[in-house]
Amino acid sequence: MDRHDVSGVTAKGAAEAHGKDLEIQEEYGCNCMTYWVDEDRENVFCLIDAPDIKAVKDMHRRAHGLIPHAIVEVDSNLVKAFLGRIHDPVHSKRNRVTEISIFNDPAFRSLLVADLKDKALFACKYGRERSHELIKKFNHLMEQAAKSFKGSTVEKYNEFLISFTSVTNAVDCAIKLQELIKSQNLHKDLPKVELQIGITAGVPLTDSNNLFGDAVEMARSLRFIAHSSHIKTTAIIKDLYKGRAPQLFDDYQQIRTLNKNEEHFLHSLINVIHQALSDNNFNITQFSKQIGVSKSQLYRKTVNLTGLSPNDFFHEIRLDKAVKLMYFQNKSIAETSYLLGFASPSYFTKCFKKRFNVLPVDFCKSIA
């Protein structure tokens, strides 16, 4: 997939350029599958089956002279999950001249990431049978909600990642999910669960080498800091929302919107933590220096954004990573404690038990 930033681009102009690509694509071993054009954001994204990047550039250069600003190798199945299609809506060939319809179909998507807090520990806490029942109910709720609000499920195994063409549908879906989980928590025969939801929006290619990479990572970060009482969103979601509950963005009771400065701070905060996860000597002085703020500002901003001190938030991410290492990569307790910079396996065990109320050895047995 490639991205073209074209000032004043129109749907007609994009269709004409695509048609010129189609006329000579075979000479370069390419198959120009489809494109998305966004007149408001002045960008075009092309999906091309090509032998290499050079072939794409050479074809575009000869066809219309519009050289891509970014090109990334993508999985067509993932493209379809995010964007809904991988071929032109309508096209035909007559007398070797390709005729295609003009369509203004932006690639801009709202992304919702949701998961049950500490889901990986359910089997250890509640037993396998009850854990299976809880997760099955949650998966059903998520799939039904995504369908009801015209969302496309991109990921549903490690977490739920849902793509929406409409910001309003993404937010209303999140609100509905909260209501459903609250209703489920009223059942006395099931343990109470906490749903975490993050929502942002973006385009397929930015600075990341992954499809919707920047937007997905931001949505995951928002979900990580979200509590069951509210949904975390970025500023663009609030700006574009046109649904039934705009007041929810203003009272902080159900939706908490980060402003641009907070988004940047959260991104920097999590990046610095991930880079320092294995450093047992990492301290608050290094933390504030790498973030670029004073110690007092680091403390105030982190508490305001996450509800935790910088040290506690660092610890939270470290333990979340520990669960993933043991759950997905089958790492032992000793390996995990070493990889994440804990002073010793015994200290890691103490921290793990305090946070999850479960011994790591019991957790490892539950997922064996």
**Token representation of residue 220:** 């995951």
Q: Give the CATH number of the domain where residue 63 resides.
A: 3.30.70.3090
Residue 96 included in any domain: no
236-294 residue pLDDT tens: 999 999 876 566 666 556 889 999 999 999 999 999 999 999 998 999 999 999 999 99
Do 293 and 218 share a domain, yes or no? no
Do 144 and 36 share a domain, yes or no? no
DSSP codes joined into one string, 100-124 = E--------EEEEEEEETTGGGHHH
pLDDT for 150 equals 96
Provide the residue count of the chain. 368
Report helix, strand or coil for 224: helix
Residues of the chain by 3-state class (helix, strand, coil), percent to 5: 50, 15, 30
- Per DSSP, 312 falls in state H
Residue 168 included in any domain: yes
Residue 235 included in any domain: yes
Is pLDDT at 57 greater than 90 in this prediction? Answer: yes
Residue 92 included in any domain: no
- Looking at 52, 71, 90, which one is the last position of a domain? 71
pLDDT for 90 equals 63
Structural domain span for residue 249: 106-258
pTM exceeds 0.75: yes
Residue 93 included in any domain: no
7-21 residue pLDDT tens: 999 999 999 999 999
| Residue 219 Cα to chain centre, angstroms | 4
Is pLDDT at 332 greater than 70 in this prediction? Answer: yes
- Looking at 203, 231, 258, which one is the last position of a domain? 258
Do 301 and 219 share a domain, yes or no? no
Percent of the chain with pLDDT over 70: 94
Quote the CA–CA distance of 221 and 344 in Å, as a whole number: 28
Q: Give the CATH number of the domain where residue 320 resides.
A: 1.10.10.60
**Token representation of residue 336:** 């995990």
Beta strand 195-202 with 231-234: parallel, antiparallel or unpaired?
Answer: parallel
Is pLDDT at 92 greater than 60 in this prediction? Answer: no
- Looking at 71, 96, 121, which one is the last position of a domain? 71
Is pLDDT at 346 greater than 80 in this prediction? Answer: yes
- Per DSSP, 25 falls in state G
Q: Give the CATH number of the domain where residue 201 resides.
A: 3.30.70.1230
**Count of domains in the chain?**
3
Residue 60 included in any domain: yes
If one counts every other C-beta atom within 10 angstroms of the C-beta of residue 58, the result is 17
Do 46 and 145 share a domain, yes or no? no
Looking at residues 73-93, what average pLDDT do you find? 86
pLDDT for 242 equals 84
Do 249 and 138 share a domain, yes or no? yes
Do 131 and 240 share a domain, yes or no? yes
